[in-house]
Amino acid sequence: MPPVLRSVLLVLALVLGACSGAAPASPPASSPSAVPPSALATATSTAAPITILDDAGRSVTLAAPPARIVTSAPSATELAFALGLGDAVVAVDKYSNYPPEAASKASIGSYIEPDLEAIVGARPDLVVVTGVHLAELVPALDARKIPTVVLDARNIEGVYADLLLLGRATGRREQAEALVDELRARVAAVDRAIAGADPVRTFYEIDPTLYTAGPGTFIDDLIRRAGGTNVAAGAATAYPQLSAEEVVAADPEVIILADEAAGVSPEAVGARSGWARVSAVASGRIAVLDPDIGSRPGPRIVDALEAIARILHPDRF
């Protein structure tokens, strides 16, 4: 893995794990209940093979709905649990802290460099991975004939698609469709609330060294959908590191901090040299967002959308 990519991924991994001790938000009231192991066993013994096309464009065939699932990223864990597959999930990456039940699962180690032997030892029928794992983990599991599905959403629509894809792969199609309908309705409510509002210049701070989310990321999509203009939308990379001078020059009207766990507070931002003239600092519009909901392209991405929309347009809610 190239050193630059590894550095950026490590920053994102720190974000993913930053709030592991935070109190989790309540799951949607209509989330399906977990599938009893007996039901999964019955499905495995009677169902026909399932073929799907994953987010990497790979055709994946499963002999039957999986009874043992490993998730290699927090977003994948949340997607699986949201579909009621908690009992089938046998191992997760160490950053998977939501829902609380995920903490009781066996660990496969780091999201960036998962422990291959731990995955194999979990005897999975399916491993749910992300695009990060295409170079090394997926080929290693292919060699062992362990099926993998890549879920790599880049926006809200991608999360809907991933829920439906995983629902088909696991025999939970109806549950996935119901959950997607619920999420779509909540997004539509945000759309109605902010209709006609002027876009708000927004800086989204991932870490204290000023990494942020740029074009093509789900965070950029969230800012836009919430009625904002991402000051890093024109960056050359997906997760650029801006200089303090660049942020000040962009003059964001709102600053969203996803790095409070790293010791960054609105007061600390206000005290940064030269930042007093930034509009967000001058008006006190510096908000903290739980990085767990803001950094994971899973079902709680709609929680993040609602939170960001309220930050950007408090008069509309």
Q: 97-101, 157-161, 292-296, 308-312 — which is least confidently predicted?
A: 292-296
Average confidence (pLDDT) over 303-310: 98
pLDDT at 47: 60
pLDDT at 195: 98
Q: Is the pLDDT of residue 17 over 70?
A: no
Helices and strands of the chain, counted as H and E runs: 13, 11
Q: Which two tokens stand for residue 14?
A: 């720190």
pLDDT at 178: 98
Average confidence (pLDDT) over 123-145: 97
Q: Output the CA angle 157-184-91, nearest 5 degrees.
A: 65
How many Å separate Cα 89 from the centre of its chain?
A: 18
312 contacts 254 by C-beta, under 8 angstroms? yes
Average confidence (pLDDT) over 256-278: 95
pLDDT at 30: 34
113 contacts 14 by C-beta, under 8 angstroms? no
How many whole angstroms separate alpha carbon 206 and alpha carbon 174? Answer: 36
Mean pLDDT of the chain: 89
Of 85, 16, 93, 6, which Cα lies nearest the Cα of 259? 16
How many whole angstroms separate alpha carbon 261 and alpha carbon 17? Answer: 10
Comparing 64 with 36, the larger pLDDT belongs to 64
pLDDT at 46: 55
Identify the structural domains of the chain with CATH numbers, from first to last: 20-183 (3.40.50.1980), 197-316 (3.40.50.1980)
- Is residue 28 very low, low, confident or very high in pLDDT (cuts 50, 70, 90)? very low
Q: Is the pLDDT of residue 19 over 60?
A: no
Q: Which two tokens stand for residue 127?
A: 């491993």
Q: Is the pLDDT of residue 15 over 60?
A: no
pTM of the model: 0.84
Q: What percent of the chain has pLDDT over 70?
A: 85
Q: Which two tokens stand for residue 38?
A: 């007996």
Average confidence (pLDDT) over 138-164: 97
Which strands make up the sheet holding 286-288, listed edge to edge?
A: 228-230, 200-205, 254-257, 286-288
Q: Output the CA angle 199-201-202, nearest 5 degrees.
A: 120
2 contacts 272 by C-beta, under 8 angstroms? no
pLDDT at 12: 52
252 contacts 278 by C-beta, under 8 angstroms? yes
List the alpha helices (DSSP H) in the chain. Answer: 3-17, 37-46, 74-82, 116-121, 137-143, 156-169, 173-194, 218-225, 244-250, 266-270, 279-282, 291-294, 301-312
Q: Is the pLDDT of residue 88 over 90?
A: yes
Residues 6 or more apart whose CB falls under 8 angstroms from that of 217 comprise 154, 238, 239
